[in-house]
Amino acid sequence: MNFFKFALKNLIGRPIRTVLTIGGVALAVAVAVSLGGFNQGYKKAIEGSIEQLGFQVMVMAKGCPYEAATLMLKGGTGLLYLPDNAYTQIKEDPDVQAITPIFIGLAEKQNVGIMGDEDEGDGSNAFTIMSGIDLKSFKEMKPWFTFKTGEGYDGGRWFDENATDEIVMGYEVAEYENRKVGDTFYASVTPNGAVEPVMHEFKVVGVLERTGSQDDGSVYIPLKAAQTIFNRPNELTIVGIKLKEFNGIRMREFEGRWLRIPEVQVVSLQQVKGALISLIGTAQIMIAAVAIIAVIVAIIGVINAIMMSVFERMGEIGIMKAVGASRKQVFILIWIETLFLTLIGAIVGCLLAIVGSGAVDTALRYLLNMGVTTDMVDITLPLLVLAVVSAVILGLLAGIWPSLRAANLRPVQAIRSSE
Amino acid sequence: MIQNNEKKVLIKGRNLKRYYYRAAETVKALDGIDIDVFAGESLCILGASGSGKTTLINLLSALDAPTEGELFIDGKNVIGLSENQLVDIRRGVIGYVFQKFHLIPTLSVAENVALPLMFLGMPYSDRDIDVILDSVGLLDRRTHKPSELSGGQMQRVAVARALAVKPKVLIADEPTGNLDKQTGDDVFALFLDLVKQQNIGFILTTHNLELAERCDRVIVLEDGKIIS
């Protein structure tokens, strides 16, 4: 027998207290790891989502910069529009490598079946993001788009640029609406200046493969068709731009040149990223506070559990000293018990965080709906190692006081107190 | 009659006093005790409850320190020593058996016996533990937990634990107090056999006159003083 085995037997011999203490540590570690994963994952997710846009700079109508930030990532209401001559002017800028005009409108999706018959739905309507795009420039900007294949999807293609009734659906919207190539999709649009919506019938000519970005939730139609349907001829929602050389100086020069167009703002996606990350900052502080409280509660729980164990076992500790245990040996024994509790608790907590990361991701996505489409919780090996090491260090610190109390017990008094 | 001057003195106490102070009151648990413990001798400390028996053997086993007096254990003066230094005195010199056995409930019989060896850092094998358990007739209980043993068996384990480090003095505080008469007689016979076999000093406290008569020497305590 050695001290580790002895400590382990002491813990196993008191299963309820041991399990409760480990549970407390595990919960605190799970919260801390999830928070750490969120801190790592959210930034990466924002960068990934912005990367998926394909452009670094947006030109859009003047308005709230935060709305601008979220507009391209998750769509939005109350859209503002800019004249499409902005596109033709900016296109000639010498710093522009690629440029694409985009018109975004919200269509009211009708609850109707694939063939236009009344659906079994609850009668409520929802909105669908309709993106009017210039096919040639859009494809240059996002060359990774491919069409889904397989039964019902083969033969997918881009729409005819002059067509008014052909659409291409993003992966998620097609899944959600249960539409395949050749199906019909109904949407009603209230044209600019009109009061009553107008029902439109579209034919699905292609379904895109999943990109993991906001593009999966869009329905694509030709730019001209979108402008016509929404009765906004010669208007755009944004112009997406990729610069030949993207850095702070080039960006400021570019911004200076094009701010001369009235009612236009130039937004760098770096700014967008900064805006989104700063928006999330407050939530992160609150979550961090919760995690810190959880960790403090867990430390107090460990101290309490070990102290209770020491008080309960005063007689045993007295006996150990009577049969030859030194103060140092008693201290080490109690400390090892604390080490086991926190180490096992930390490992269980890490497993909980890994298993529960999907649920945490969903909850955060619900609470912080900022248009991020990739995983928001990124739990990495270094994060897990850091969590375990930190928990063990905190646990060992928490174990010092109870261990000292045990080590300093006088054997006669300790034995007498237990009788 | 034992010729004490021919035997080795293992513990020597002179004018031992142990006082407890409670508010303005001073409780004289021991008040000027002179005592010698010899190798191979059984010494019975007899007395009523509260006479100071347990206090005296706590001093003799270095579990407690006297308020005044001289105390030598295995030739070392223990007066003024710190708790850590007292641990060093206890280790390997004193084996202690408690009235209530005080086995560690989470450990098996064999592990309880091995516990002092672990604390002393003494190497041991399963075979060594088995020999000790065999000497107290509990080899077949080596994997049992204390809760699975009878009172007599638990006291035998406590004896085995005390003997594991091959002490020079075995001290037992009312070792049969929690046992029925037959079991108590058996355990006491075991003590006397082991003392003779291993030539160690043996001190026990009791208020059982029958047991006292079987010891080599008896001292009687009353109100913290030796009266005979």
| Residue B24 covered by a domain | no
Task: Give the gap in angstroms from C-alpha B3 to the nearest C-alpha of chain A.
Answer: 31
Q: What element of type H or E holds A238? A: strand A238-243
Contact of B200 with B40, CB cutoff 8 Å: yes
For chain A, give the percent of residues with pLDDT over 90. Answer: 16
| Residue B172 covered by a domain | yes
A157-196 confidence digits (pLDDT tens): 999 988 889 999 999 889 888 899 999 998 888 888 888 8
| Residue B26 covered by a domain | no
How many contacts does A have with B, using Cβ atoms within 8 A? 68
Q: How many CB atoms lie within 10 A of CB B192?
A: 16
Contact of B173 with B158, CB cutoff 8 Å: no
Return the higher-pLDDT residue of A260 and A91: A91
Q: Which residues pair with A228 in a beta bridge?
A: none
Q: Does B13 touch chain A (CB under 8 A)?
A: no
pLDDT at B203: 92
Q: Where are the domains of chain A?
A: 3-48+276-417, 81-236
Does B2 have pLDDT greater than 50? no
Give which of B58, B64, B98, B118 to mutate to test A binding, by max A Cβ within 10 Å: B118
| Residue B73 covered by a domain | no
Residue B93 sits in which domain range?
42-63+86-226
| Residue B150 covered by a domain | yes
| Residue B3 covered by a domain | no
Number of domains within chain B: 1
Give the list of residues 6+ apart from residue A325 with CB closer than 8 angstroms, or none.
A333, B87, B119
Task: Give the gap in angstroms from C-alpha B107 to the nearest C-alpha of chain A.
Answer: 7
How far apart are the C-alpha atoms of A51 and A72, rounded to whole Å? 12
| Residue B12 covered by a domain | no
Contact of A182 with A203, CB cutoff 8 Å: yes
Q: Give the least confident one: A68-82, A123-137, B97-111.
A: A68-82
Q: Which residues pair with B46 in a beta bridge?
A: B206, B220
> Dihedral, CA atoms, A29, A34, A39, A42, nearest 10 degrees?
170
Contact A319 B102 (CB under 8 A): yes
| Residue B166 covered by a domain | yes
Contact of A396 with A337, CB cutoff 8 Å: no
CATH label of the domain that carries residue B125: 3.40.50.300
Contact B120 A327 (CB under 8 A): no
How far apart are the C-alpha atoms of B114 and B102, rounded to whole Å? 15
B21-67 confidence digits (pLDDT tens): 887 888 888 988 899 998 888 899 998 888 888 889 989 988 888 88
Compute the average pLDDT of residues A396-401. Answer: 84
Tell the residue number behind the tokens 């109508």, with chain if given.
A61
Task: Give the gap in angstroms from C-alpha B63 to the nearest C-alpha of chain A.
Answer: 6
Give which of B20, B57, B59, B63 to mutate to test A binding, by max A Cβ within 10 Å: B63
pLDDT at B24: 80
Burial of B181 (0-12, 13-18, 19+ CB in 10 A): exposed
B81-106 confidence digits (pLDDT tens): 887 788 888 887 888 888 788 898 88
Compute the average pLDDT of residues A206-212. Answer: 88
Task: Give the gap in angstroms from C-alpha A337 to the nearest C-alpha of chain B.
Answer: 14
pLDDT class for A113, splitting at 50, 70, 90? very low
